[in-house]
């Protein structure tokens, strides 16, 4: 059996390879010692057994159980379609995300309205297996397909005066029927500081589980920011705006005392109405003794992102 990942040398650093070897060896150890320890991601085992090239990124969760696709695609937050978790899968069924245009504006060298397929053509496609932690204290582990956001930003060439990037979801009540109701101030908006957006982990998903993104998960393109609460991961994006001012983000606009701009996953800072110290992993078998799992600072991605917030009081900038 081959448990050492066979990465292309240009794609990874020596350190990446060592880390992955460790993880794969750990994998092998767990396999050898039966089911006593929590099971590794069967996808990693499968890939290793079939001698497939694993996803050699140190932050890819090869050893964590991936949430079953049926949960990730039927337990959703997408207020443009429904406020119920099972609503978007039913009510977005007939939404047609093709063709799709994205407007690029603000402090950028390449403003314009682009056909999505042309805008992202040729950007390096990859799979990222990320934890996804909602501010409501549930979580999943999802294999996304897409590209790192920094590739797109580099293509658009923001001016050096751009300090933030803002995103907007489609506003079209005829296609997103819940927008007929004033549930939130439409369109849904989100934003990142430019250094956050350029971080290797910030991702634009166009697919999940190796398939095009389902409508209920934000087709045809959405943001995925794995170290932040899920509401930052805006769906069905039609506008990208580069700016020197902190952009409005919908949940902060709705309830500023409850939802911040940064929204970094932080077990030490509770939501005013519930604890953020632990979470419920959707679809996972709950143990009688431990039905919840501990929430990790930055959702477990601190080694890649904590530096972005050096010197900041994360209670104040929550």
Q: Which residues bind ligand MTE (CB under 6 A)?
A: 76-80, 134, 169, 188, 217, 230-231, 233-236
Nearer to ligand MTE, 82 or 243 (CB): 82
Measured between alpha carbons, how far is residue 300 from residues 133, 218, 295 in Å? Answer: 10, 24, 8
Q: Exposure of 24 by Cβ count < 10 A (0-12 exposed, 13-18 middle, 19+ buried)?
A: buried
CA angle 20, 205, 139 (to 5 degrees): 70
* Residue 214: other Cβ atoms inside 10 A: 22
Residue nearest to ligand MTE (CB): 230
Q: What is the 3-state secondary structure (H, E, C) of 200-260?
A: CCCEEEEEECCEECCHHHCCCCEEECCCECHHHCCCCEEEEEEECCCCCCHHHHHCCCCCC
Query: Are 295 and 265 contacting, i.e. CB atoms less than 8 angstroms apart?
Result: yes
- Shortest distance, CB of residue 116 to ligand MTE, whole angstroms? 16
Closer residue to ligand MTE, CB minimum distance, 76 or 295: 76
Q: Residue 20 Cβ, how far from ligand MTE at the closest point, in Å?
A: 27
137 or 314: CB nearest ligand MTE: 137
Least distance in Å: CB of 73 to ligand MTE?
A: 8
Could you identify the residue written with the tokens 């190796």?
210
Q: Min. distance of Cβ 134 from ligand MTE in angstroms?
A: 4
Q: How far is the CB of 6 from ligand MTE (least distance, A)?
A: 32
- Taking the least distance from each CB to ligand MTE, the nearer of 16 and 172 is 172
Which residue number, 29 or 256, has a Cβ lying nearer to ligand MTE? 256
């Amino acid at each position: 059996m081959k448990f050492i990942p066979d990465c292309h040398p240009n794609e990874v650093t020596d350190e990446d390879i060592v880390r992955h070897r460790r993880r794969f060896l750990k994998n092998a150890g767990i396999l050898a010692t039966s089911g006593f320890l929590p099971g590794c991601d069967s996808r990693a085992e499968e890939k290793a057994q079939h001698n497939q090239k694993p996803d050699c990124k140190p932050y890819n969760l090869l050893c964590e159980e991936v949430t079953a696709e049926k949960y990730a695609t039927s337990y959703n937050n997408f207020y443009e379609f429904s406020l119920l978790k099972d609503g978007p899968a039913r009510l977005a069924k007939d939404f047609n995300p093709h063709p799709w245009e994205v407007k690029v504006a603000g402090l950028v060298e390449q403003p314009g309205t682009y056909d999505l397929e042309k805008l992202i053509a040729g950007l390096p496609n990859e799979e990222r297996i990320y934890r996804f932690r909602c501010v409501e204290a549930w979580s999943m582990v999802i294999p996304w397909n897409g590209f790192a956001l920094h590739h797109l930003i580099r293509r658009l060439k923001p001016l050096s005066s751009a300090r933030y990037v803002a995103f907007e979801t489609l506003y079209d009540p005829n296609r997103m029927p819940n927008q007929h109701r004033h549930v939130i101030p439409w369109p849904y908006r989100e934003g990142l500081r430019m250094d956050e957006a350029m971080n290797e982990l910030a991702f634009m998903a166009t697919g999940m589980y190796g398939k095009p993104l389902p409508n209920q998960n934000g087709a045809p393109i959405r943001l995925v920011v794995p170290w932040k609460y899920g509401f930052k991961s805006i769906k069905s994006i039609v506008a990208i705006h580069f700016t020197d001012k902190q952009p409005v983000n919908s949940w902060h606009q709705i309830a500023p005392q409850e939802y911040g701009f940064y929204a970094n996953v932080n077990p030490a800072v509770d939501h005013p109405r519930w604890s953020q110290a632990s979470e419920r992993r959707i679809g996972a078998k709950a143990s009688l003794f431990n039905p919840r799992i501990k929430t990790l600072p930055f959702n477990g991605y601190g080694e890649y992102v904590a530096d972005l917030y050096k010197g900041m009081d994360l209670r104040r900038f929550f």
